[in-house]
Amino acid sequence: MNNRVTLTRFIIEQQANVPDASGTFTMLLSNIVTACKEIAQKVNRGQLIGVLGSAGSENVQGEVQKKLDIITNDIMVNSLNWTGHLAGMASEENDEFISIPPQYKKGKYLAVFDPLDGSSNIDVNLAVGTIFSILRCREGVEPEEGDFLRKGTEQVCAGFVIYGPSTMMVLTTGNGVNGFTLDQGIGEFILTHPNMRIPEETSEFAINMSNQRFWETPVQRYIDECLQGTEGVRGKDFNMRWVASFVAEAYRILTRGGVFLYPWDNRDPKKPAKLRLLYEANPMAFIIEQAGGLCSTGRERILDIKPSGVHQRVPVILGSKNEVQRIVDYHLQS
SS (H, E, C) 29-61: HHHHHHHHHHHHHHHHHHHHHCCCCEEEEECCC
**pLDDT, tens only, 137-190:** 987 788 999 999 999 999 999 999 999 999 999 999 999 999 999 999 999 999
Is 255 among the domain residues?
Answer: yes
Question: Do 188 and 227 sit in the same domain of this protein?
Answer: no
Count of other CB atoms within 10 angstroms of residue 276: 23
Residue 119 assigned as binding residue:
yes
Task: Please tell me the distance from the alpha carbon of residue 72 to that of residue 86, in angstroms, as a whole number.
Answer: 19
Q: Are residues 41 and 174 in the same domain?
A: yes
Instruction: Please state the domain count of the chain.
Output: 2
- Looking at residue 49, its pLDDT comes to 59
Asked if residue 234 and residue 182 are part of one domain, the reply reads: no
Tell me the three state secondary structure of residue 179: strand
Residues 152 and 17 in one domain: yes
From residue 1, alpha-carbon distances to 169, 184, 216 in Å are 20, 15, 51
**Predicted pLDDT at 123:** 79
CATH number, position 221: 3.40.190.80
For residues 108 and 216, membership in a common domain is answered with: no
Q: Does 113 reside within a domain?
A: yes
DSSP H/E element including 188: strand 188-193
Last residue of a domain, one of 169, 193, 217: 193
Task: Pick the last residue of a domain from 136, 165, 193.
Answer: 193
Give residue 199's Cα distance to chain centre.
Answer: 20
Report yes or no on 199 lying in a domain: no
CA 131-155-35 angle, 5° bins: 35
Angle between helices 7-15 and 24-45 (to 10 degrees): 160
Does 116 count as an annotated binding residue? yes
Is residue 57 part of an annotated ligand binding site?
no
Paired with 136 in beta bridges are: 109
- Report residue 93: phi and psi, to 5°: -90, 0
Q: Answer whether 151's CB lies under 8 Å from 162's CB.
A: no
On whether both 238 and 323 belong to a single domain, the answer is: yes
Sign of CA dihedral 175, 155, 159, 41: positive
- Determine the pLDDT at residue 3: 77
Range of the domain at 226: 204-333
Among 193, 225, 242, the domain boundary falls at 193
In a domain, 42, yes or no: yes
Close Cβ partners of 58 (under 8 Å, ≥ 6 residues apart)? 64, 65
pLDDT at 21: 64
With a cut of 50, list the residues of the chain below it in pLDDT. Answer: none
Phi, psi torsion values for 252, nearest 5 degrees: -60, -40
In a domain, 198, yes or no: no
Same domain, 124 and 217: no
Amino acid identity at 30: S
Same domain, 120 and 211: no
Is 1 among the domain residues?
Answer: no
Rg of the chain, C-alpha, whole Å:
20
Output the domain CATH number for residue 147.
3.30.540.10
SS3 of residue 83 by DSSP: coil
Do 154 and 225 belong together in one domain?
no
pLDDT tens by residue, 20-32: 667 789 999 999 9
Question: For residues 222 and 219, what is the distance between their CA atoms, to the nearest angstrom?
Answer: 5
Q: Is 280 annotated as a binding residue?
A: yes
H helix or E strand, kind and range, residue 133: strand 128-136
DSSP code of 63? Answer: P
Tell me the backbone φ, ψ of residue 149, rounded to 5 degrees: -85, 70
Question: 289, 295 in Cβ contact below 8 A?
Answer: yes
Res 154: pLDDT: 97
Find out whether 216 is annotated in a ligand binding site.
no
Are 108 and 14 within one domain? yes
Is residue 2 domain-resident?
Answer: no
Q: Does residue 271 fall inside a structural domain?
A: yes
Q: State if pTM tops 0.85.
A: yes
69 carries a ligand binding annotation: no
Element (H, E) at 96: none
Question: Are 269 and 184 within one domain?
Answer: no
The annotation status of 114 as a binding-site residue, yes or no, is yes
Secondary structure (3-state) at 64: strand
Is residue 11 domain-shared with residue 122, that is, in the same domain?
yes
